[in-house]
């Protein structure tokens, strides 16, 4: 499958996740599980929530909890995704904002042997987190549980 076809299919699945979600947590987990499933579980996805003291707390993990990239999560307050590459490791760190406030940080780790992340992937992730933030804001307030 070509990358553009794969990303289009993922967009469709994310839209369906919203259509069938019963609340914010259900929507969020459906999106992340679908992403994890569609990449054949060849990545690790960790979700963090910001704490009042400025630190982040790990809330949800698919795969193995990775530490690579966690030191850069503070950049997410700038409302931008970050792509990190070091040796054989890659991470995309993306903030999710709801109504102007940082509510989640998603960290997607993948080794370069499995897949090399590109600019097209970054654009997709930015589109995805904007969609998640906008749709999460339509649900009543609830926190993502582990």
Element (H, E) at 47: strand 44-50
User: Given pLDDT bands bounded at 50, 70 and 90, which one contains residue 110?
Assistant: confident
| pLDDT tier for residue 69 given thresholds of 50, 70 and 90 | low
Question: Per-residue pLDDT averaged across 50-65, rounded?
Answer: 85
Q: Provide the edge-to-edge strand list for the sheet that holds 56-62.
A: 56-62, 44-50, 101-111, 89-98, 82-86
* In CATH, 3-136 is 3.40.190.10: no
**Percentage of the chain modeled with pLDDT above 70:** 88
pLDDT at 20: 93
Q: What is the pLDDT of residues 113-130, one digit of tens each?
A: 878 888 888 888 888 888
Two tokens at 100? 């102007």
The tens digit of pLDDT for each residue in 6-48 reads 888 888 988 899 999 999 889 988 999 998 998 888 889 999 8
pTM over 0.85: no
SS (H, E, C) 74-127: HHHHHCCCEEEEECCEEEEEEEEEECCEEEEEEEEEEECCCCCCCHHHHHHHHH
């Amino acid at each position: 499958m070509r990358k553009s076809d794969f990303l289009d299919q993922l967009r469709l699945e994310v839209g369906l996740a919203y259509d069938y979600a019963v609340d914010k947590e259900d929507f969020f987990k459906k999106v992340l599980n679908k992403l994890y499933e569609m990449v054949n579980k060849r990545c690790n996805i960790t979700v963090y929530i910001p704490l009042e003291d400025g630190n982040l707390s790990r809330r949800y993990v698919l795969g193995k909890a990775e530490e690579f990239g966690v030191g850069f999560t503070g950049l997410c307050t700038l409302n931008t995704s970050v792509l990190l590459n070091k040796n054989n490791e890659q991470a995309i760190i993306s903030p999710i904002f709801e109504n102007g406030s940082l509510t989640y940080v998603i960290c997607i780790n993948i080794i370069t042997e499995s897949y090399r992340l590109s600019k097209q992937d970054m654009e997709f992730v930015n589109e995805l987190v904007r969609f998640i933030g906008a749709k999460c804001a339509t649900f009543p307030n609830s926190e993502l549980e582990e």
